Amino acid sequence: MDKITVIVPVYNVEQYLDRCVNSILNQTYRNLEIILLDDGSTDNSGKLCDSYKDERIVVVHKKNEGLGLTRNVGIKKATGKYIVFIDSDDYIDTTMIENLYLDLKKNNADTCIGGFKRIYKDRVVNSVNPYAGKIVEKNEILTSVLSKMFGKSGNNNDYLEMSVWKVLFSRDIIVRNRIFFPSEREFISEDIIFDTEYYSNANRVYMSSDVGYNYCDNEGTLTTRYNPNRFELQEKLYLELDARAKKLGIYENVKARIDTTLVAIARYSIKLEQKFSKQNGRRKAFSNIKRICNNSTLEKVLLDYNLEESKKSKVVNDLIKNKNYHLLWYTMLLKNRFGI
């Protein structure tokens, strides 16, 4: 059985770390190298990392750099044939790594992509890989795998979650091609940047039916926290993915997907501006909403944007397109108060 390296960035997660680490230690697949990367934690996370008594664990304490750059430290220290990334506020089922490994070996693949479970306070939602059971060869990986990670296309259900934490990666592909993560402080989604480089070098991908990764909807995560620059960061990612798609020859496959994502993030960013207007001040919030609506990239996308979406989304899209700021404000007020 090949050694598998599990890379776990750790930052101020003392309330979740035991759950995460124990779920890795209890894996049915035993030949693991577990790298815990304390990214300058200011709580007890660093001490917790040092407290685990298992010879498979390697602990690294480092200055704070963020998720992407911390994962890179793990990649450089990894010695396993394969690599798994796990976020320290999540956890995995006891059979996840074994299932992904057996699926990969059985199908002679270098990469195996599973699904995941989204864990809410009151429910659990399974997100099965929509292509489970499929083998994708090198000449189809860009169009059949990577393209699907660029975002949803209207109401189609063919989106592949681009997050790296439910995938068994080949360390050889990563190292040989010098593939690393950018900082999430540079791109709002460092995973998709990594994916564009990794999957363009993969040779055979297997789509697993495993849903052993548990993604927890914890309060205060990067995706739920207010960020005044959220939309501008998304625009930067949009332009980067636009350029990469053209270079990889998959632009026509992903154009609708990156457009849909940009418009969706515009709606969400405006909603958050209204939601946090009491803390930030109504005048500032209104100014930020105007700034988003007048963004030249968004204006260009909305000019001929007619992808299939819900009626509620279309109404908001039209309000943004027509710069109807006041009606947009009250629409988001209703959404925030009543969830309509």
List pLDDT tens digits, range 258-290.
999 999 999 999 999 999 999 999 999 999 999
Joined tokens for residue 317:
């899209």
With beta carbons less than 8 A apart as the criterion, state whether 5 and 79 touch: yes
| 274: helix, strand or coil | helix
State pTM to two decimals.
Answer: 0.92
pLDDT at 222: 47
Pairwise CA distance, residues 59 & 120, whole Å: 30
Task: For the chain, give every residue range classified as CATH 3.90.550.10.
Answer: 4-216
pLDDT at 157: 78
Please state which CATH number belongs to domain 4-216: 3.90.550.10
Pairwise CA distance, residues 119 & 124, whole Å: 5
Residues of the chain where predicted confidence (pLDDT) is lower than 50: 220-222
Joined tokens for residue 28:
């049915």
Strands (E), 44-104: 57-62, 82-85, 91-92
Pairwise CA distance, residues 193 & 174, whole Å: 13
pLDDT at 250: 97
Joined tokens for residue 209:
């039916």
